[in-house]
Amino acid sequence: MRFSFFALAAFLIATPAFAMDGVNTDTGDAVTVDDGTVFNVGDTVAVYDIDGNELDLQIQAVNDTSTALDVDFVDPDSGETSTIEFTKVEATPAQ
């Protein structure tokens, strides 16, 4: 059991953090969310601006198009709404 714990810890330390990039369609500002973020209506997610400032936004709607994921958010503090478009990246098949 000890080996498994240390192997897992080494893997987690060596694994880089990934993020999904998006664009606020209202302002044109670049934003990012942690990779693996799940967009469920009603959930609150952390969105980071280009300076790394965190903004917790509540998901109002999700529209999955063929090329992008458009997510409508509301800021629970200000009531301001915005739409962020996350471009889909197609996986390339192994050769």
Residue 6 covered by a domain: no
Give the structural domain span for 65: 19-87
CATH number, position 29: 2.40.128
Contact 68, 88 (CB under 8 A): yes
The 10s digit of each residue's pLDDT in 18-27 is: 468 999 999 9
Taking the C-alpha atoms of residue 12 and residue 86, their distance in angstroms, rounded to an integer, is 26
Q: How big is the CA angle at 36 (ends 31 and 32), to the nearest 5 degrees?
A: 5
Total of domains in the chain: 1
The 10s digit of each residue's pLDDT in 68-84 is: 999 999 999 999 999 99
Residue 92 covered by a domain: no
What's the mean per-residue pLDDT of the chain?
81
pTM above 0.85, yes or no: no
